[in-house]
Amino acid sequence: MKQHLQNPTKNPPPTTTSGSTGVVTDMRVIVPLQGVVQGGGGGLILGSIIPCALFYFFQLYLKSKNRSGDDSAAPPPPQLPEIEPPGGGLQRVQSVRSIWSPRGSNSQVSSRASFVIKQVDNPYYVGLEKSCLDCYDEVCNPGGIIQLGFDENKLSLDVVQDWLMAHTKCSIVCQDLQMNGITAYHPFDGLSELKMAVAGFMSQVMEGRVLFDPSQMNLTSGVSPAIEMLVFCLADLGNAFLVPSPYSPDLDRDIKWRTGVEIIPVPCRSSDNFSLSTASLNRAYNQAKKRGLKVQGVIVSNPSNPVGNLLTRETLYNLLDFATEKNIHVIANETLVGPIDDKNQEFVSMAEIINSEEYDRKRVHIVYGLSKDISLPGFKVGVVYSFNQTVLQASKKLMRFSSVSSLSQRLLVSMFNDSRFVREFIKINRERVERMSDLFVGGLKELGIKCMKSSRGSYCWADMSGFIRPYSEKGELELWEKLLNVAKINATPGSCCHCIEPGWFRFCFASLTEKQVPLVMERIREVL
Amino acid sequence: MAIEIVQPSTVGLSKIAVSDTHGEDSPYFAGWKAYDENPYHEINNPTGVIQMGLAENQVSFDLLEEYLEANLESTNWGQKVSGFRENALFQDYHGLLSFRKAMASFMEEVRGGKAKFNPDRVVLTAGATAANELLTFILADPGDALLVPTPYYPGFDRDLRWRTGVQIVPIHCDSSNNFQITPEALEAAYDHATSMNIKVRGVLITNPSNPLGATIQRKVLEEILDFATRKNIHLVSDEIYSGSAFYADEFVSIAEVLESRNYKDSERCHIVYSLSKDLGLPGFRVGTVYSYNDQVVTTARRMSSFTLISSQTQFLLASMLSDKEFTRKYIKINRERLKKRYEMIINGLKKAGIECLKGNAGLFCWMNLSPFLEEPTIKSELAIWKTIMHEVRLNISPGSSCHCSEPGWFRVCFANMSEETLEVALTRIHEFIKQRKQ
């Protein structure tokens, strides 16, 4: 892509009025014709004052609309910015900026950065930051905030820790530390031994129903860069992805922040158990078309986050049919749940569907996050799995921006090659997650809070609509605030997940110990 | 199934996916391919291609190895259960506090204590590549430009432009004053951008410079800072080679300049650092954005979710970087060894009749082959480069891939091999020049 010269962006020259934060707004508030107003006769004064005053207030109005988060006044709640239809060069650049900053403010950081800064009032981030600063600790800070907004699995850490204690030194030092060892540059898309080990592990979790091919895989430092990278490869600035809602707040970041790609939510309702239908996909697609947005694909999570549903085989087929009809991509973000005892639910990986049916494999891309599956959040490994060679090649090059440390890779290779350990771990981890899930959901039930039927994920989707007044987003956020500041529980309100029905909350419970569950329930009871 | 319909060619991809802005088709990378196909080995392949295009630091590896072997037990995350729990779970973008403190402390050590660093301004990224890209995302919009002095690291074309959509406008430097950046050149670059209606958002310098292998003088840093202030733009200083300056007092960091000005106007300044070059740990993927601007720190921290450093790596390195005895010793010995290597290669090249730019830092030297070109053109430069690659079997980086305005300059790396291998390379060059003279 030649860096062709953009058309002039018609921004007025910056005037430096940088405040302490260094952000510059360049709308000058001009008090015009002061001199005239001070002098002259009556009629002239009035004739001057009124238009001046109007002009003055108009500028103030525009200036307040242009604020880019540089002062203490709370900006309005985050909205999806209006996107103008893509046009020619100049218009295109303007519409690009408007994705991040509706009025294209000329502050000293980029529009992308300004957009991120505005997120400060998003309850998801407020909750995370606050609970970070006032973190619950049984001994040191028993009155602190219990974090139920971060989806991470601490339940089987001790199992991993024991293994690491026994094997680390050997994994690192006995290996050749030297030139070709762990300290040197290595392929950014992951060591081939690790890819093979990961492919083997994934197949093991799926009990052999899918065989994963390491050559179709690239490894990166987590699910977020994996998703972002795919979005960069599949869509241009200003394009859009359809995403069934409610969806994880992280997707707003992963899909939109740096790429300039838009999300069109595909609302799902509790009346259908939040399942995804072709009709709603079509509706969303048409909406996008009306707004002049080119849809490049659909991004689904399986199990869905935050609801916890497994996508049925039928849903997956319908999704692929829809994608084929519109000639767009499908990105599936899968957490490897593996086969479950419950005969009513089975986890079907997109990889399985793609293998068996005659769909164009080049439109399907799968992302896996090892952090959750093997409870190794610190390791930060994400997998991009694709059959599209161009995408694989491009993402391979992009991996240089988010590569996994060779240290972590070596450890993981050793760990995955210890198949006895992996088998044990999968079994123990599953049991513990199930137990915690039953405990937590049961606890909520006793409080009169019902949850969506869980698929054994590490979170639950709770219906607290009976406890909010009014039955609206406002009521939901009031309850969220009470939970955070009074009950000292950080949960994720459904509005952050773009749920169209107020009152739903996501609770991530896999970072708790069993002992803490009654405490959590007690605290929640306080504010109901 | 119904009638087989031939689908039109595959579902569309983005411009980023199909473009060549990644720049990996340039000669800089082509040379690496030649090396990969026929790598030199002292015993197994003594006629293979010697890699002199990779800026990697292996001269002080033994010091690292010694430290790791002796201290791995104590950095073992199994020490206390709770310790492990907190540490392993730090998938958060804040990073381990102990590691941020360690990075800040190490950066101070490298600058001989002449500047202070606040751990709360350290944002961790998976390598300097990610740090540079991250800053570009934060400081500039698609279509905007960063001014970068030439010659510059070829990877910038990719790191600063590919996904960000930002452009690079070169600040032309030439050999008449040893490629130093002048206020005239800065103004000219800015005016050039403005005349094309491109909005300039900042200047990005590398200090010490890659590929020049020289530190930027204090006076020049002050001029660049003044220029950035006048134009109200940002200044990014990539100081990834700061620990590789041969004489500690010859390296002046922008941090020192800011400190001497009492941090006036510092919110436009940002420093990029990494452990890949100074510590020779590129595999660990440890980089940092250090910014004096609160908004940039906040944004960078949140965006660092895309490029996190694993907590094992942070944990392991935290104790090593905080160990002042080790870091002081390492930095001192590393500087001495690099200096020795530099002198070895400079003298070797001189004996062959080749001059280099006077350098004082880095893992490479900037060699002048312009007297040996058929014509003073890039074509001739690439011709001689190909000859050196295929006949002399050395992979060196041509100045044109670094956007050098004068043909005939080459970057030659010397720290990624043993002394013996370097001798072999020098002998080959000697032979080559001798033959050419005939």
Same domain, B350 and B322: no
Same domain, B221 and B359: no
- The model's pLDDT over B149-167, given as tens digits with 9 standing for 90+, comes to 999 999 999 999 999 999 9
| C-alpha–C-alpha distance, residues A242 and A224, integer Å | 17
Same domain, B264 and B191: yes
Q: Is A480 left (phi over 0), alpha (psi -120 to 50) or beta?
A: alpha
Domain boundary among B258, B291, B326: B326
What is the share, in percent, of chain A residues with pLDDT greater than 70?
73
Q: Outline where DSSP puts E strands in A102-186.
A: 146-147
**Report for A116-125, A266-275, A372-381, A455-464: range of highest mean pLDDT:** A266-275
Same domain, B108 and B154: yes
- Do B24 and A397 lie within an 8 Å CB cutoff? yes
pLDDT of residue A337: 65
Same domain, B271 and B205: yes
Across residues B381-402, what is the average pLDDT? 94
**pLDDT reading at A314 higher than 70:** yes
For residue A376, name the pLDDT band (cuts at 50, 70, 90).
low
| C-alpha–C-alpha distance, residues A259 and A99, integer Å | 10
- The model's pLDDT over B322-339, given as tens digits with 9 standing for 90+, comes to 899 999 999 999 999 999
Tell me which of B437 and B14 has the higher pLDDT: B14
For residue A377, name the pLDDT band (cuts at 50, 70, 90).
low
Instruction: Spot the catalytic one: B35, B231, B277, B278.
Output: B277
Kindly report the nearest CA distance between residue B140 and chain A, in angstroms. Answer: 5
What is the share, in percent, of chain B residues with pLDDT greater than 70?
93
pLDDT of residue A41: 43
Helix, coil or strand: residue A244: strand
- The model's pLDDT over A146-155, given as tens digits with 9 standing for 90+, comes to 999 988 788 8
**pLDDT reading at B188 higher than 90:** yes
Window B:244-273, CB contacts with A under 8 Å: 267-268
What CATH number is given to the structural domain containing B23?
A: 3.90.1150.10
Instruction: Spot the catalytic one: B40, B67, B153, B290.
Output: B153
Tell me which of A94 and A184 has the higher pLDDT: A184
Same domain, B179 and B156: yes
Tell me if ipTM is over 0.90: no
For residue A100, name the pLDDT band (cuts at 50, 70, 90).
low
| C-alpha–C-alpha distance, residues A215 and A192, integer Å | 9
Q: pTM of this prediction?
A: 0.84
Q: Which residue of B lies nearest to A117 if distances are taken between CA atoms? A: B299
Q: For residue B40, tell me if it sits in a domain.
A: yes
Across residues A218-243, what is the average pLDDT? 94
pLDDT of residue A342: 58
Mean pLDDT of chain A: 78
DSSP state of A252: I
Q: For residue B394, tell me if it sits in a domain.
A: yes
Q: For residue B120, tell me if it sits in a domain.
A: yes
Q: Report strand pairing: B397-398 vs B409-413.
A: antiparallel
Tell me which of A415 and B383 has the higher pLDDT: B383
- Do B11 and A168 lie within an 8 Å CB cutoff? no
Q: For residue B48, tell me if it sits in a domain.
A: yes
Would an 8 Å CB–CB cutoff place A380 in contact with chain B?
Answer: yes
The total domain count for chain B is 2
**pLDDT reading at A358 higher than 80:** no
pLDDT of residue A82: 28
Across residues B253-264, what is the average pLDDT? 95
Q: For residue B7, tell me if it sits in a domain.
A: no
**Nearest-10 Cα torsion for A306, B306, B165, A124:** 40
Q: Which residue of B lies nearest to A323 if distances are taken between CA atoms? A: B11
In the block, tokens 């699910």 appear at A223
Same domain, B155 and B282: yes
**pLDDT reading at B298 higher than 70:** yes
pLDDT of residue A61: 47
| C-alpha–C-alpha distance, residues A413 and A379, integer Å | 12
Q: Report strand pairing: B167-171 vs B145-149.
A: parallel
Across residues B74-90, what is the average pLDDT? 46
pLDDT of residue A338: 56
Would an 8 Å CB–CB cutoff place A72 in contact with chain B?
Answer: no
Shortest CA distance to A386 belongs to which of A368, A369, A366?
A366
- The model's pLDDT over B199-224, given as tens digits with 9 standing for 90+, comes to 999 999 999 999 999 999 999 999 99
| DSSP codes of every residue in A427-477 | HHHHHHHHHHHHHHHHHHHHTT-EEPPP-S-SEEEEE-GGG-SSSSHHHHH
Would an 8 Å CB–CB cutoff place B307 in contact with chain A?
Answer: yes
pLDDT of residue A103: 35
Q: Could you tell me how many residues make up chain B?
A: 438
pLDDT of residue A86: 26
Mean pLDDT of chain B: 90
Same domain, B299 and B202: yes
pLDDT of residue A524: 95
For residue B314, name the pLDDT band (cuts at 50, 70, 90).
confident
B292 in catalytic set: no
* Structural domain boundaries, residue B22: 15-62+330-437
**pLDDT reading at A318 higher than 50:** yes
SS (H, E, C) chain B: CCCCCCCCCCCCCCHHHHCCCCCCCCHHHHHHHHHHHCECECCCECCCEEECCCCCCCCCHHHHHHHHHHHCCCCCCCCCHHHHHHHHCCCCCCCCHHHHHHHHHHHHHHCCCCCCCCHHHEEEECCHHHHHHHHHHHHCCCCCEEEEECCCCCHHHHHCCCCCCCEEEEECCCHHHCCCCCHHHHHHHHHHHHHCCCCEEEEEEECCCCCCCCCCCHHHHHHHHHHHHHHCCEEEEECCCHHHECCHHHCCCHHHHHHHCCCCCHHHEEEEEECCCCCCCHHHCCEEEEECCHHHHHHHHHHHHHCCCCHHHHHHHHHHHHCHHHHHHHHHHHHHHHHHHHHHHHHHHHHCCCEECCCCECCEEEEECHHHCCCCCHHHHHHHHHHHHHHHCEECEEHHHHCCCCCCEEEEECCCCCHHHHHHHHHHHHHHHHHHHC
Across residues B374-388, what is the average pLDDT? 95
Same domain, B262 and B374: no
Domain boundary among B306, B326, B346: B326
Same domain, B193 and B281: yes
pLDDT of residue A170: 60
B358 in catalytic set: no
DSSP state of A256: I
Q: For residue B67, tell me if it sits in a domain.
A: no
For residue A355, name the pLDDT band (cuts at 50, 70, 90).
confident
Same domain, B101 and B199: yes
Across residues A245-262, what is the average pLDDT? 94
- The model's pLDDT over A435-483, given as tens digits with 9 standing for 90+, comes to 999 999 999 999 999 999 866 678 999 999 999 989 999 999 999 999 9
Domain boundary among B294, B326, B358: B326
| C-alpha–C-alpha distance, residues B84 and A412, integer Å | 17
CB neighbours of residue B11 within 10 Å:
21
| C-alpha–C-alpha distance, residues A460 and A443, integer Å | 12
**pLDDT reading at A325 higher than 60:** yes
CB neighbours of residue B370 within 10 Å:
18
Across residues A293-312, what is the average pLDDT? 93
Helix or strand run (H / E) with residue A38: helix A34-38
Between helices B81-88 and A157-169, what is the axis angle to 10°?
100
Kindly report the nearest CA distance between residue B266 and chain A, in angstroms. Answer: 9
What CATH number is given to the structural domain containing B254?
A: 3.40.640.10
Same domain, B184 and B258: yes
A103-112, B12-21, B147-156: least confidently modelled range: A103-112
Would an 8 Å CB–CB cutoff place B70 in contact with chain A?
Answer: no
**pLDDT reading at A26 higher than 70:** no
- The model's pLDDT over A201-225, given as tens digits with 9 standing for 90+, comes to 888 877 788 889 999 999 999 899 9
Window B:119-178, CB contacts with A under 8 Å: 126-127, 129-130, 133, 137-144, 158-159, 161, 163-165, 167-168
A30-44, B267-281, B347-361: least confidently modelled range: A30-44
Q: For residue B10, tell me if it sits in a domain.
A: no
Instruction: Spot the catalytic one: B168, B205, B240, B331.
Output: B240
**pLDDT reading at A184 higher than 70:** yes
pLDDT of residue A232: 95
Would an 8 Å CB–CB cutoff place A93 in contact with chain B?
Answer: yes
Q: For residue B402, tell me if it sits in a domain.
A: yes
